[in-house]
Amino acid sequence: MMRVSSQSVTVVALLADPDAPTEIARRMARTLPARLAERSGRGRRFDVEVVSEPFTAGTEDLSTLMHRIMDRGRAENWDVVVAITDLPLHSHGHKLVVDLSHEHGLALLSLPPLGGLRLQTRAMRAVEETVLSLASPRATRAEKPPRRRPLGRFVSRLAPVHPGPIGEDEIADLRYVVSGPRGYLRVLGGMVRANRPWRLVPGLSKALAAALATGAIATVNSTIWSLSEALSTARLVIAMVGSVTLMIGWLIVDAHLWHRSTDASTEEKKRTSLYNASTVMTVGIGVIVCYGGLIVINLVSALFILNDRVFASMTRSPLHATEYWTLSWLVSSIATVGGALGSGFESAEAIRTAAFSKREQERRDMLHDDHGDQPSK
């Protein structure tokens, strides 16, 4: 890569995939120049540019991605290029955190291994450490710097990063990965965070409409009043878990969200299990949020609708706070089942859009196209 610098100014490009990576890059660009200048010293200045491009489109191969980044950087007057994606990337059985090429002044950062919590802070630290390492004047392929500037500060001690193996024909000269059960959980949390499961709530408008209608009918049903009084807490919990599980399963099956491995290799099976686990967690969080909202709405409805005398005449129990709560709880479980049926009116594409990040949607579409199994509804 051509290095173009003037008056001690280092030009840093954050090449970010669209959607969440671009948002993260733009937020960090506000303070990154000052942080870099403070840590580098010697009066050095940094200019940070954010470029939003789908550089991971159609591939997850590290060598291909690094060549794309290198070619993109050669066309611009950038000293350092840090590419950011929310796709989980893999290297020799490990989960990639960051690839660095000091010879070419470029890096590839995968956000999921940073975890689902404090992502902006960890991404900032990762980019900061990466840029300072790449901007070092002594950083060449002949002088690999694995000890000069370790990149483990931006993750917790529960899942530390460590150097990973690099093939002789690869552009990268330094690679950090996470592995083991703790690394798996951190990547899983990062994938769920990238999918932003709270977006599933407005994406299920027809299902929510069906759930609200079911809840309104159940709230004024005297049989439901009697059941709420008769059922024990354990049975109410079973009803809640059953309805939520039914909703999750129905959405995954109906919208074809389950990923099936087409390769019998152990590596592919691990990837498939990771993607499916993130799908279950993403949909599960969205459904649980919907369930909590239904409880609040049904409780408010019950407070306005129910009459003490009528309720007591039907159930032979006075209407107190406990009765309001148990009724709303049971009605929410019934309404969730109604919502599952109502989700059948949603298009599969709408559910996938609500459940997955942009990169994850494109990855799944590419897989379906490759195997001639694109879902339609």
Write out the two tokens for 110: 């995968």
| pLDDT given at position 293 | 93
The share of the chain scoring above pLDDT 70, in percent, equals 82
- Is 9 in a helix, a strand, or coil? strand
Tell me what the mean pLDDT of segment 285-314 comes to.
90
pLDDT value at 232 more than 60: yes
- Supply angle C-alpha 118, 163, 132, rounded to 5: 60
pTM of the model: 0.79
**pLDDT tens digit string along 250-261?**
888 887 888 777
| pLDDT given at position 256 | 80
Per mean pLDDT, which range of 34-38, 193-197, 341-345 is the poorest? 341-345
Tell me what the mean pLDDT of segment 87-106 comes to.
88
Nearest to 207 by CA among 151, 154, 254: 254
**pLDDT tens digit string along 146-174?**
444 555 455 555 556 777 888 878 888 88
Nearest to 99 by CA among 130, 124, 78: 130
**pLDDT tens digit string along 319-346?**
888 999 999 999 999 999 988 887 766 6
Contact 110, 172 (CB under 8 A): no
**Parallel, antiparallel or unpaired: strands 106-110 and 162-163:** unpaired
| pLDDT given at position 366 | 58
| pLDDT given at position 137 | 61
